[in-house]
Amino acid sequence: MRLLAIVIFILFVLTSCFEKDKIVPPHEPGDLKVGVAELTETYKYQVFYDLQSNSTLKQNLISEWDLGFETSDSGWHVILNTSKMMLAGNTGETDFEKVTSKGDIEMNFDPSHGNLDSSAIGNWYNLQEELPVSKELVYVVDRGTDEDYNTVGEKKITFGFDEDNNYKIRFSNLDGSEEKNMIIEKDTSVNFVCFSFDNGIVEIEPNKQNWDLQFCKYSTLLFTDVGDPYPYLVTGVLINPHKVAAVEDTIHAFEEIDFAIAEQKKLSTQLDTIGYEWKHYDFDNAHYSVLPDMIYIIKDTEGYLFKMRFVDYYNETGEKGYPTFEFLRL
pLDDT band at 3 (very low <50, low <70, confident <90, very high): very low
For the chain, give every domain's residue range.
Answer: 33-60+208-329, 66-202
**How far is CA 273 from its chain centroid?**
11
Least Cα distance to 249 among 308, 301, 291 occurs for: 308
> What does residue 205 show for φ and ψ, rounded to 5 degrees?
-80, 135
* Residues 250-292 pLDDT 10s: 999 999 999 999 999 999 999 999 999 999 999 999 999 999 9
CB of 121 within 8 A of CB of 135?
Answer: no
CA distance 169 to 86: 18
| pLDDT over 60 (residue 178) | yes
Pinpoint the alpha helices (H) of 208-318: 259-262
Please write the tens of the pLDDT for every residue from 219-242. 998 888 888 878 899 999 999 999
> For residues 218 and 222, what is the distance between their CA atoms, to the nearest angstrom?
12
pLDDT at 125 over 60: yes
Confidence class for position 9, pLDDT limits 50, 70, 90: very low
Neighbours of 328 (CB within 10 A): 19
